[in-house]
Amino acid sequence: MSIWVSRNDEGSLYVRFKYDEQMVMKIREIPGRKWIRDKKVWMIPFTIESIQQLHTLFEGPKIYVDSMLMEECSLFTNEVHMQDHIPIYS
């Protein structure tokens, strides 16, 4: 299982993954998270705490980070993979 992370214009992060009940339970542990139904994406705060929790909760699945976010945020290190295209799931 993989997750994709990108930044949105509201100062938050979008987190996207194929539906998996265990993954949903994990992301619900992040304070301030919100499901954006029309975009089919989770939104989490763009904070050090949220990013660290994302790394902890999703240890194991590959994390792909938007290349612009990777350049902007030093918290995304070698543990993640850079990718320009974030998939859209139906």
Residues of the chain with pLDDT under 70: 73-90
Q: What does pTM read for this prediction?
A: 0.79
Q: Which amino acid is it at 34?
A: K
pLDDT score recorded for residue 89: 47
Q: Give the N- to C-terminal CA distance of the chain in Å, as an integer.
A: 16
**Token pair for residue 35?**
């499901």
